[in-house]
């Protein structure tokens, strides 16, 4: 078996192994016709010309007219379909004609046809049945954005896979050809936006010089259906424009942003918009002038609106003056502003109310702002989940969030329905994933971290897909179609998130990671300037028990959830185990549903974290010889490291918490 380095991601296009399927595909695909002449059509042609001969093991010529049974890919649909498909939706349909059978992949635009082409290729890659195809697929969420926390110096905040792919210093004169492969990968899973820079923004992102660089990337991305977004620095009018204020209510400030927007759109006519971190962790914002988040967001929205741009205004704020419980701050700040935002503003919240922890309950904001479209921000890069050492499949975690019922409009008011706009009848919708890509040869540091990039795109397109279906596709494309291999890897992936939760923060614990870099355990950490940057703030261990009391007798964060969740979370008896220590300070000898005391359960969970990694390691070892040696060794080494770290977590946390147990 040839060594592989992971560069090809899920677009490996190895020859189909099932002989019946292979015969079926060879029969159906004598020729390819891509009638379009656009840059996107050229990308479709190149992809099919690369993929089909490799998958089928025979030449599949591109021709102007169908020869024999043919695949026809391009933008042309009937009037009736036109409306159903929207801009990016596609159809894949079989037709019989005299000259031969045809498979048509069509949509309203060439971009839609590109999406359909990748979908069709996926069917072959997973060795599915393509006879009698008749399918329509359109995205459930309109803006599906990868957010890169890349800095202009090439470093990546919370990046664990090398340096920035953009090579800012070389742009615009030279564009790394690798970026085409990045764009292909994004296009293949339906991502349609790329925010180029860190939310902790460098003001220089908006200089004329940097905008030229961004424009070069935007030009590359355009035919792949990817729009560019930027994270501006809110005080840019002062830093770059020499104004003496950045107050959003100041007309000179607003007109500076208008001119900046005009400059951007001259260079990037399809610019997506701004993602803004303001008045958060030291970033400047409207509150510096006594103005509100709505004032700030609206000013930027007004500058972008004439050009069709949007503002993603982040709700990651936790000002102690608002509430001593960090989990409550964002909802308290933003709910009073509901209804005040311009139509092209999204308020963007992380999945949970604290900060991308291994597990959190969903962010209560999702059930609390019906007049404002809410964007969901997920973190693909595993900042708090073992970085590029841990094997953690995040598809399951994201499904849990998406399927969480907010009860905002009664049962069935899931986070997914809030985010896709259907619950509150918003036409606009958006989901953002903090990217885990970098210059490492395998893109994501860990071969299995590629699955999270993949899963983000697939769920962003269709959040009704199951985590298992997505894993199945990814495994077949990335590793093997051998059913035994697929089953083994799926078993590893589907338990991996819970293993990570058990390893680090079982039963609703959160934020026990080492300061700064957030890898490894440090439950006793208490040296930070702010109370809520200390780990002891989050777990509150004492001789009485463990956990943050957010019940009605504590911080009352439960009140930010709708009934019946509020009551369910509020009571120790009904609060789900997985959130127990999130919402309650629980006595050490309290008996859980398992019959074990809290202290016993905690020991059991930390042991389960270690056992989970041991299990993955054993399964992986059993696959030796069925996976190429290079990737097999790489993953084995990572699992070994993960196991060491899981043991450290168990020991450190049990030693630490054990001190309090009487
Ligand atoms: C935290 C990260 C920090 C980010 C921040 C954010 O540690 O690097 O800047 O989130 O999302 O989790 O703004």
Q: Is 158 in the pocket of ligand 1 (CB under 6 A)?
A: yes
| Mean pLDDT for the stretch of residues 525-548 | 97
What are the tokens at 104? 């048509």
The pLDDT confidence band at residue 78, using thresholds 50, 70 and 90, is confident
Atom of ligand 1 nearest to the CA of 350: 11
| Mean pLDDT for the stretch of residues 586-608 | 98
Which residue in 247, 302, 383, 420 is the catalytic one? Answer: 383
Residue with tokens 């439960």: 558
pTM attached to this predicted model: 0.98
| Alpha carbon distances (Å) from 440 to 48, 152, 161, 437, 509 | 26, 18, 5, 8, 32
Tell me whether residue 355 is one of the annotated catalytic residues. yes
CATH number of domain containing 120 = 3.30.379.10
Residues 6+ apart with CB under 8 A from 200: 149, 157, 277, 281, 283
419 and 355 together in one domain = yes
What are the tokens at 28? 């159906």
In a domain, 13, yes or no: no
Kindly give the distance from the C-alpha atom of residue 360 to the centroid of ligand 1, in angstroms, as a whole number. 16
Q: Is 143 in the pocket of ligand 1 (CB under 6 A)?
A: no
CATH number of domain containing 607 = 3.90.1330.10
Q: Is 356 in the pocket of ligand 1 (CB under 6 A)?
A: yes
Ligand 1 site-directed mutation target among 150, 151, 158, most atoms within 8 Å of CB:
158
Angstrom distance (rounded) from CA 399 to CA 416: 9
374 and 414 together in one domain = yes
Atom of ligand 1 nearest to the CA of 355: 12
Could you say which of 137, 154, 178 is where a domain stops? 137
Kindly give the distance from the C-alpha atom of residue 424 to the centroid of ligand 1, in angstroms, as a whole number. 29
Is 90 exceeded by the pLDDT of residue 573?
Answer: yes
Kindly give the distance from the C-alpha atom of residue 630 to the centroid of ligand 1, in angstroms, as a whole number. 33
pLDDT at 372: 98
Q: Whose CA is nearest to atom 1 of ligand 1?
A: 355
Q: What is the pLDDT of residues 226-256, one digit of tens each?
A: 999 999 999 999 999 999 999 999 999 999 9
Q: Whose CA is nearest to atom 11 of ligand 1?
A: 316
Is 90 exceeded by the pLDDT of residue 75?
Answer: no
| Of the listed ranges 60-64, 68-72, 77-81, 529-533, the one predicted with least confidence | 77-81
Q: Is 390 in the pocket of ligand 1 (CB under 6 A)?
A: no
What are the tokens at 98? 């005299």
Ligand 1 site-directed mutation target among 280, 284, 315, 356, most atoms within 8 Å of CB:
356
Kindly give the distance from the C-alpha atom of residue 386 to the centroid of ligand 1, in angstroms, as a whole number. 16
Kindly give the distance from the C-alpha atom of residue 380 to the centroid of ligand 1, in angstroms, as a whole number. 13
Is 90 exceeded by the pLDDT of residue 349?
Answer: yes
State the average pLDDT for the chain: 97
Kindly give the distance from the C-alpha atom of residue 100 to the centroid of ligand 1, in angstroms, as a whole number. 56
Q: Where are the alpha helices (DSSP H) in 516-628?
A: 535-539, 565-570, 580-583, 598-622
The pLDDT confidence band at residue 76, using thresholds 50, 70 and 90, is confident
| Mean pLDDT for the stretch of residues 385-392 | 98
460 and 514 together in one domain = no
269 and 153 together in one domain = yes
Neighbours of 64 (CB within 10 A): 9
Ligand 1 site-directed mutation target among 149, 198, 200, 434, most atoms within 8 Å of CB:
200
508 and 616 together in one domain = yes
Q: Is 355 in the pocket of ligand 1 (CB under 6 A)?
A: yes
Provide the percentage of residues in the chain whose pLDDT is more than 70: 100
Strands ordered across the beta sheet of 90-97: 31-33, 70-74, 100-107, 90-97, 134-137
Kindly give the distance from the C-alpha atom of residue 358 to the centroid of ligand 1, in angstroms, as a whole number. 14
Q: Is 316 in the pocket of ligand 1 (CB under 6 A)?
A: yes
Which residues span the domain enclosing 184?
143-465
Q: What is the pLDDT of residues 615-646, one digit of tens each?
A: 999 999 999 999 999 999 999 999 999 999 99
Q: Is 277 in the pocket of ligand 1 (CB under 6 A)?
A: yes
Q: What is the pLDDT of residues 125-159, one digit of tens each?
A: 999 999 999 999 999 999 999 999 999 999 999 99
In a domain, 567, yes or no: no
Which residue in 355, 360, 473, 549 is the catalytic one? Answer: 355
In a domain, 206, yes or no: yes
76 and 28 together in one domain = yes
DSSP states of 53-118: HHHHSS---B-SS--SSEEEEES---HHHHHHHTTT-EEEEEEEETTEEEEEEEESSHHHHHHHHH
Is 90 exceeded by the pLDDT of residue 662?
Answer: no
197 and 228 together in one domain = yes
Could you say which of 445, 465, 485 is where a domain stops? 465
509 and 616 together in one domain = yes
Tell me whether residue 87 is one of the annotated catalytic residues. no
Which residue in 281, 567, 640, 655 is the catalytic one? Answer: 281
174 and 262 together in one domain = yes
In a domain, 329, yes or no: yes
CATH number of domain containing 252 = 3.20.20.80
Atom of ligand 1 nearest to the CA of 356: 12
Could you say which of 104, 137, 170 is where a domain stops? 137
In a domain, 510, yes or no: yes
Q: What is the pLDDT of residues 490-511, one digit of tens each?
A: 999 999 999 999 999 999 999 9
Tell me whether residue 468 is one of the annotated catalytic residues. no
449 and 300 together in one domain = yes
Q: Is 519 in the pocket of ligand 1 (CB under 6 A)?
A: no
- Number of structural domains in the chain: 3
129 and 156 together in one domain = no
Is 90 exceeded by the pLDDT of residue 416?
Answer: yes
In a domain, 131, yes or no: yes
In a domain, 4, yes or no: no
Kindly give the distance from the C-alpha atom of residue 348 to the centroid of ligand 1, in angstroms, as a whole number. 14
Residues 6+ apart with CB under 8 A from 541: 523, 656, 657, 660
45 and 79 together in one domain = yes
Q: Is the distance from CB of 249 to CB of 216 less than 8 angstroms?
A: no
Is 90 exceeded by the pLDDT of residue 77?
Answer: no
Q: What are the residues facing 74 on neighbouring strands?
A: 106
Q: Is 200 in the pocket of ligand 1 (CB under 6 A)?
A: yes
pLDDT at 618: 98
Kindly give the distance from the C-alpha atom of residue 193 to the centroid of ligand 1, in angstroms, as a whole number. 20
In a domain, 476, yes or no: no
Angstrom distance (rounded) from CA 273 to CA 283: 19
| Mean pLDDT for the stretch of residues 658-662 | 94
The pLDDT confidence band at residue 527, using thresholds 50, 70 and 90, is very high
Helix, strand, coil share of the chain (percent; to 5): 45, 15, 45
């Amino acid at each position: 078996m040839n060594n592989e380095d992971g560069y090809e991601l899920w677009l490996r296009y190895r020859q189909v192994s099932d002989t019946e399927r292979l015969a079926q595909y060879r029969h159906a695909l004598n020729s390819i016709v891509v009638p379009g002449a656009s840059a996107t059509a050229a990308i479709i042609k190149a992809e099919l010309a690369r993929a089909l001969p490799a998958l089928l093991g025979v030449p599949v010529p591109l021709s102007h007219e169908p020869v024999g049974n043919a695949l026809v890919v391009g933008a042309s649909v009937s009037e009736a379909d036109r409306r159903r498909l929207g801009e990016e939706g596609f159809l894949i349909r079989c037709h019989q004609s005299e000259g031969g059978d045809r498979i048509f992949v069509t949509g309203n635009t060439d971009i839609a046809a590109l999406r359909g082409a990748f979908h069709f290729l996926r069917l072959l890659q997973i060795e599915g049945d393509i006879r009698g195809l008749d399918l329509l697929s359109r995205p459930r969420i309109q803006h599906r954005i990868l957010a890169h926390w890349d800095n202009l110096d090439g470093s990546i905040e919370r990046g664990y896979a090398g340096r920035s792919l953009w090579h800012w210093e070389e742009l615009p004169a030279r564009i790394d050809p690798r970026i085409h492969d990045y764009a292909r990968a994004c296009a293949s899973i339906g991502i349609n936006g790329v925010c180029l820079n860190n939310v902790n923004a460098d003001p220089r992102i908006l200089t004329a010089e940097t905008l030229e660089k961004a424009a070069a990337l935007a030009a590359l991305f355009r035919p792949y259906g990817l729009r560019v977004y930027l994270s501006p620095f809110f005080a840019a009018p002062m830093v770059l424009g020499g104004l003496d204020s950045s107050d959003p209510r100041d007309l000179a400030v607003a007109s500076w942003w208008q001119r900046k927007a005009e400059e951007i759109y001259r260079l990037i006519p399809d610019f997506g918009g701004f993602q803004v971190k303001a008045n958060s962790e030291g970033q400047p914002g409207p509150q510096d002038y006594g103005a509100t988040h709505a004032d700030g967001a609206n000013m930027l929205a007004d500058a972008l609106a004439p050009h069709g741009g949007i503002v993603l205004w982040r709700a990651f704020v936790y000002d102690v003056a608002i509430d001593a419980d960090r989990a409550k701050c964002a909802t308290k700040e933003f709910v009073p502003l509901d209804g005040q935002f311009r139509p092209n503003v999204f308020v963007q919240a992380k999945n949970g109310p604290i900060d991308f922890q291994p597990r959190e309950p969903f962010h209560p904001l999702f059930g609390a702002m019906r007049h404002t479209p809410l964007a969901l921000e997920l973190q693909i890069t595993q900042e708090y989940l073992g970085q590029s050492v841990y094997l953690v499949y995040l598809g399951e975690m994201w499904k849990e969030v998406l399927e969480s019922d907010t009860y905002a409009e009664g049962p069935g008011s899931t986070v997914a329905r809030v985010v896709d706009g259907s619950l509150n009848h918003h036409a606009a919708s958006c989901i953002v994933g903090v990217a885990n890509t970098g210059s490492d040869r395998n893109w994501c540091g860990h071969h299995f971290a590629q699955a999270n990039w993949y899963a983000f795109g697939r769920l962003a397109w269709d959040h009704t897909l199951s985590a298992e279906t997505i894993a199945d596709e990814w495994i077949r494309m990335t590793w093997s179609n051998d059913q035994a291999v697929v089953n083994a890897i799926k078993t590893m992936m589907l338990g991996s998130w819970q293993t990570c939760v058990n390893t680090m923060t079982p039963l609703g614990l959160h934020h026990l990671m080492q300061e700064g870099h957030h890898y490894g355990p440090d439950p006793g950490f208490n040296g930070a300037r702010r109370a809520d940057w200390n780990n002891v703030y989050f777990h509150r261990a004492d001789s009485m028990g463990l956990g943050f009391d957010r019940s009605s007798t504590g911080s009352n964060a439960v009140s930010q959830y709708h009934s019946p969740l509020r009551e369910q979370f509020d009571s120790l008896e009904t609060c789900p185990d997985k959130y127990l220590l999130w919402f309650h300070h629980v006595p050490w000898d309290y008996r859980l549903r398992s019959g074990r005391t809290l202290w016993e359960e905690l020991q059991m969970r930390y042991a389960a974290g270690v056992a989970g990694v041991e299990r993955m390691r054993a399964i992986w070892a059993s696959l030796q010889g069925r996976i190429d040696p290079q990737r097999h060794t790489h993953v084995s080494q990572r699992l070994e490291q993960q196991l060491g770290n899981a043991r450290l977590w168990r020991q450190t946390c049990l030693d630490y918490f054990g001190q309090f147990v009487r």
